[in-house]
Structure 1
Amino acid sequence: MTGCWGVKSYENDDAHDALDRGFERVHGDVYDDLMDDGNPLSFDQVQKQLASPETLAAAMDLFEEEAGSNRELWDDLDRLGYAGIVVRHVELGVAVADDLKATAAAFLEAEAIDWDEPTLRNLRREKEIAMLRR
């Protein structure tokens, strides 16, 4: 499947790009320095340290610039990208508004993408939906 390279919702090109650009927009050079190969922190550690409501808002804004603001016109990968951004921020401990979590969960519940590893994806998707419903 084009654009997806893992089983987590944020492991697709649209979500990953929006997340990266959102962190960079909010944190600028600090983010770039932390993402440098010479920094001993892992990718996850950097994002956990910097994730905030501001990075969520920036990533969502950047995502909607690419996907468009009319969600009725979004395809499955667009909906997955949206959900991925929300899921990642929830995983990182950011307080996310209930309406964003509900929309992301609904997108995941309606997901109709053929995955290379459907069993792994289904398990991961159920975990993400449960996390969003808490």
Structure 2
Amino acid sequence: ILWNNQNKIVDGKYFNYPKTIKMPNFIYIEQRTRLGSGSGKEIDIFASSGPDVWIGESKWMKNSVGKNVIKNLIQQRSLVKERRGDNLRDLKLWLFASSGVTENAKRMIEDNGILWSTKEDLNDLLIDSGLRKLPEID
């Protein structure tokens, strides 16, 4: 999705966000990156265009994602800011929560400007990006 949408304007509806989003021209996109040793320091997606970074967390679960996942994502943001320092212009947090998020988590997401997508949102974005939908997994 990130590669296919580089330098494009994407509708915010795919991210439960009220505005369109200008996608960066990513230099690299890594999967399962560790920001350090210890619990909660692995990022599922780390994408950089130099000064602009996206970090993504994927939660393929039957239940809605709660506040603890959001707290961890916010902590990961702090780690990236610390590492990048003045070389960071923009940092986007993106959560994929296949079954959505709880109301408490949603408030934290809104308060912290986090982008998030359900399975339905992501499938719609995949189709609009010229990619195939996610598999059906029980």
- TM-score (norm. length: structure 2): 0.32
Q: Higher helix share goes to which structure?
A: 1
Q: Higher strand share goes to which structure?
A: 2
RCO (CA 8 Å, sep 6+): is it higher in 1 or 2?
1
